[in-house]
Amino acid sequence: MGDTRGSYFDVFDVYLPVALAVFVLVCGFIALAVSRGRRRTAEPSRRRDHHVLEGAYVVVLVLVTAALLGLTLTVQDRIAEAPASGPAEQVRVVAAKWHWRFEYPRYRIVQQGTDDRPAELVVPRDTPIDFRGRSLDVIHSFWVPQARFQRELFNDRVSGWRLAFSRDTDGGMAPCAFYCGLGHRTMRFRVTVLEPAGFRAWVARRRSEAR
């Protein structure tokens, strides 16, 4: 649930070996065809098609396609249908040239990035978080590479997504993925993943600071 990193590797772990195998197989056939053809002294073959072989090959291609798609669609549905069970935190994401802002409406906390300090997204570990994000100007993209997840933010529509952060994502720098002009290269935020108790303490500290 919301474990996009796990979903990513569910597909990755199948797609990468398949891609490498296809690459090796095709290059092997090419190498074999070329080396045999370089050595050949007899007249070239005159065969110009082989309908049975071609037809069987198309069937194989269709089956490979179906298998890959089956995996992709299954994993995608799991991301999309992240169940609403469990207590979810809420974070509003506001992107504007060239800073991030994270608002925690339940706790009235605002994390605003500045030129000197990128915004810090503080989240409790393994807890589903409902994000509502928008941009105030051009398109930006919320990308947490460690979570293997990205979502574009627009100035005329609200994007919603749910993520849970594992310990692996702690301390990661998250760049704006969508090219947004002059400050694009420096527009980023930091992800801090805390234990649930630590998160509650952080909330209390931030609220007392605000008062």
Angle at 209 between CA 206 and CA 211, to 5 degrees: 115
Measuring CA to CA, how many Å separate 23 from each of 27, 29, 64, 137? 6, 10, 14, 43
Among 4, 111, 127, 169, binds another protein (CB under 8 A): 4
Question: Which of these segments, 34-42, 83-91, 101-109, 193-201, binds another protein (CB under 8 A)?
Answer: 34-42
Per CB under 8 A, 195 contacts another protein? no
Measuring CA to CA, how many Å separate 187 from each of 13, 110, 155, 181, 200? 31, 18, 17, 10, 28
Among 62, 201, 204, 210, binds another protein (CB under 8 A): 62
Closest distance between another protein and the C-beta of residue 93, in Å?
13
- Cα 140 to chain centroid distance, Å, stands at 15
Question: Which of these segments, 18-26, 86-94, 98-106, 196-204, binds another protein (CB under 8 A)?
Answer: 18-26
**Which of 4, 181, 190 shows the shortest CA–CA distance to 100?**
190
Residue list 87-146, contact with another protein (CB under 8 A): 97, 137-139, 141, 143, 145-146
Question: Which of these segments, 60-68, 101-109, 124-132, 190-198, binds another protein (CB under 8 A)?
Answer: 60-68
